[in-house]
Amino acid sequence: MFSRKTALTFAAGLTLAGCNLAPKYVRPELPVAPATPTGPAYAATDAVGAIIPADTAWEAFFTDDRLRGVIRLALDNNRDVRIAVANVAQARAQYRVQRADLFPTIGATGSATYQKSPFGAVSGGTGTGTGTGTGTGTGTGAGTGAVAGSGRTDIYSANVGVSAWEIDLFGRVRNLTQAQQEAYFAAQENRNAAQVALIAETATAWLTMAADQDRLKIARDTERAFGQTLKLTQDRFRIGIASELEVRQARTTYDQARSDISDATTLIAQDQNALNLLAGTSLPTALLPAQMPEKTPTLENLPANLSSEVLLRRPDIASAEHQLIAANANIGAARAAFFPNISLTAAFGTLSLGLSNLFGNGSQSWSVAPTITQPIFDFGRNKGNLDYAKATRDAMLATYERSVQTGFREVADALARRGTIDSQLEAQTSLRDNAAGAFNLSQLRFRAGIDPFLNTLDSQRSLYTAQQSLLATRLVRDSNAVELYRALGGGLR
């Protein structure tokens, strides 16, 4: 007898014995050099005990308490991260829906049929007969029959079974499930990439605001110094010592400082607006920077020479690889469409003419209906779907390789900047100090009548420019550490 257990065992065996028509996935070779570049712009050797950002929690990488507070608020409230989290939830739900097709959907049904016939049921008659003789005979008989009055029939049934469950002999459902699973993994990596990008963008915006605060302070100090120079020049002009040209030259530098104050004030307001947007809320004043930190607000012991394999830890590259694996699995699903599709419908239950006997002995019933469908002529539909799947795989491969190349370039650029920033910062500091010394000497020589006023004015302008250049270089140094953190995959903990 073909039992329910036998049917399920047979179907499970068919599924497990099925083949997979997807190409075997092999991770592509990295389309970049084996290691990051070397040369005059790069540090010669690795720093002792260098840390890898992907292995370091972001709260450990960023050392300034105010900056950490801003980043926490951003991670909790930023809408882009919320969108990325929702996308992960969507992808996970879609994966669960697709995965359910691997297993039969078991459902229970109950039905009752009530039927009434206008003719009723015919009852049997009775009769008698006699016969005599050989070869011939006679007989008489009589019978009576009656048609009962119109009758009613009640039929009850209860069943448990599966409906049109596809037996995945050729891996179509399994490959679709794997493709959806990889899409879910890609959404997770996209969410991680959004977090790393948000942390880096928030830190850069915070540092930019700090630099603009210092820029405003320099402009105000310069305005006061230029104002004193202008007043001195005007006094000298009134007594006939200085010319009108010197007065106008002094006023141009003073007006430039005034303009720079207005510009820096605007930039600070815009910086705060940008931080509020990144944080998803209005930041308290206590978390805003008042000036550039004296010490860099990040860990400084970052690596110099790196293997290109470290790029595989970047979330955006991991996402691109998951999308490539999904496209590879879709090829298997498209290939399976060329082969027969086998589905199974089965039901097991009871059937009786009375509700009280529905679960009684002898009321059991079952049915099994396997169905096979083989495409013959589809006018190129399956071939087109297969070509589309292959073209999509090729596009995902190119996307993955482009992501690797982009990541390699970003890491190399950050390392090139890091390899020279210390010497540049040292030179800018020396330039600022010498400009300050030159300004002080020019003032003394001017007051002693040795040098003309133009020398003092030029040295004052040079000092102002040197101060701004040094500030910009400090911002580049601190921002470079943040960029290297992002380019190397960041820390997600």
pLDDT recorded at residue 346: 86
pLDDT recorded at residue 134: 37
> 376 in a domain, yes or no?
no
3-state secondary structure of 9: helix
Residues β-bridged to residue 106: 162
| Number of structural domains the chain divides into | 1
Closest by CA to 419, choosing from 481, 463, 357, is 481
Kindly report the CATH number assigned to the domain that includes residue 66: 1.20.1600.10
CA distance 96 to 184: 10
**Which residues, including other chains, have CB under 8 Å from residue 273's CB and lie 6 or more apart?**
none
The DSSP letter of residue 337 is: T
pLDDT recorded at residue 246: 83
- The dihedral through the CA atoms of 219, 224, 229, 231 has a sign that is positive
What is the C-alpha R_g of the chain?
Answer: 42
> 433 in a domain, yes or no?
yes
Residues β-bridged to residue 153: 115
> 119 in a domain, yes or no?
no
pLDDT recorded at residue 317: 96
pTM of the predicted structure, to 2 decimals: 0.83
Helix axes 453-487, 172-238, angle to 10 degrees: 170
Task: Work out the end-to-end distance of the chain between its first and last CA atoms, rounded to an integer number of angstroms.
Answer: 59
Please give the helix or strand (H or E) that residue 335 lies within, else none: helix 315-336
- 62 contacts 297 by C-beta, under 8 angstroms: yes
pLDDT recorded at residue 119: 55
CA distance 389 to 332: 9
> 149 in a domain, yes or no?
no
Spans of the chain below 50 pLDDT:
1-4, 6-8, 10-17, 121-149
> 438 in a domain, yes or no?
yes
Closest by CA to 211, choosing from 110, 302, 296, is 296
- 131 contacts 137 by C-beta, under 8 angstroms: yes
> 121 in a domain, yes or no?
no
Closest by CA to 479, choosing from 421, 432, 428, is 421
Q: What is the pLDDT of residues 181-216, one digit of tens each?
A: 999 999 999 999 999 999 999 999 999 999 999 999
Task: Supply the range of the domain harboring residue 403.
Answer: 24-102+169-339+384-487
> 377 in a domain, yes or no?
no
- 297 contacts 64 by C-beta, under 8 angstroms: yes
Residues β-bridged to residue 341: 373
> 271 in a domain, yes or no?
yes
Closest by CA to 358, choosing from 216, 193, 154, 172, is 154
